[in-house]
Structure 1
Amino acid sequence: MATTTAKHDVFQAIADPSRRKMLILLADEEMPIAAITECFPITRTAVNKHLQILSNAGLVTSQRVGRETRYKLHPEPLTEIKGWLSFFEEYWDDKLSALKNFVEEENNQ
């Protein structure tokens, strides 16, 4: 049974703010690279490199339509991040409860 692994780690792929913004742009619609490039103050070549990293991590798919390449969000790999973050929710909940108790005690004094 063959397993396909992403060339780039999903965490590494979303580490860059430009790539996170690209994922948000692609969440609602499929877009050609020219339209994506218009949303960033970087070159088309740089946008293409970012899209390649997202593609290698399995976060976007691309399809040739005529002379342009269109990109689309493929959100399934983000479940890895959701799972990792959910582990820490317990700690956040504990800290928030402690903060709430502290604030309530301060207000009662």
Structure 2
Amino acid sequence: MTVRPEARRASPTAVFAALADETRWGILELLGTQDLSASGLAERLPVSRQAIAKHLSALEGAGLVERLRVGREVRYRALGSTLSAVGRRLEDIGAQWDARLDRIKHIAENL
């Protein structure tokens, strides 16, 4: 599988905006287990095919899913690389805060 350049560069803001919807989370969870068409997703979720298409567009724009042409059908696949990249950035921020808190604790203990 080739990861598209826009998926590698997805901003955390775009990812979080796309994930700020329960239906999109549901779509992403389903696509994490198998590639599905928009119709296949609509069969499994309580929303219309048109709503699924709009949600897929938002997820694709954030680099969270990609389209695959399988014969005459368009299927979608989750791109874990985007979530992993955002996760790494969050871990880095968390580690920086932990280091700051450790320094403050050390200073406080040595007063």
Could you tell me the TM-score, scaled by structure 2's length?
0.67
User: In the TM superposition, what is the alpha-carbon distance from 1:14 to its structure 2 partner?
Assistant: 0.9
- Counterpart selection for 1:82 from 73, 83, 87: 87
Q: Which runs of 5+ in 2 are unaligned?
A: 102-111
- Counterpart selection for 2:37 from 11, 32, 48: 32
- Counterpart selection for 1:55 from 54, 60, 64: 60
Tell which structure's C-alpha radius of gyration is larger. Answer: 1
User: In the TM superposition, what is the alpha-carbon distance from 1:75 to its structure 2 partner?
Assistant: 1.1
2:14 maps to what in 1? 9
CA RMSD of aligned residues (A): 2.6
Could you tell me the TM-score, scaled by structure 1's length?
0.68
Task: State the distance in 2 between where 1:12 and 1:72 align.
Answer: 19
User: Does residue 18 in structure 1 map to residue 18 in structure 2?
Assistant: no
1:103 maps to what in 2? none
Distance 1:48 1:25, change over 3 A: same
Secondary structure at the counterpart of residue 15 of structure 1: coil
* Partners of 1:32 and 1:71 within 8 A in 2: yes
**Consecutive aligned runs of 4 or more in structure 1 exceeding 6 Å deviation:** none
User: In the TM superposition, what is the alpha-carbon distance from 1:64 to its structure 2 partner?
Assistant: 2.2
Task: State the distance in 2 between where 1:14 and 1:63 align.
Answer: 21
Task: State the distance in 2 between where 1:50 and 1:34 align.
Answer: 13
User: In the TM superposition, what is the alpha-carbon distance from 1:42 to its structure 2 partner?
Assistant: 1.3
Task: State the distance in 1 between where 2:85 and 2:25 align.
Answer: 15
Q: Which runs of 5+ in 1 are unaligned?
A: 95-109
| Total equivalences in the alignment | 90
User: In the TM superposition, what is the alpha-carbon distance from 1:63 to its structure 2 partner?
Assistant: 1.7
Indicate the percent of aligned positions where both proteins have the same amino acid.
Answer: 34
Distance 1:30 1:57, change over 3 A: same
Secondary structure at the counterpart of residue 19 of structure 1: helix
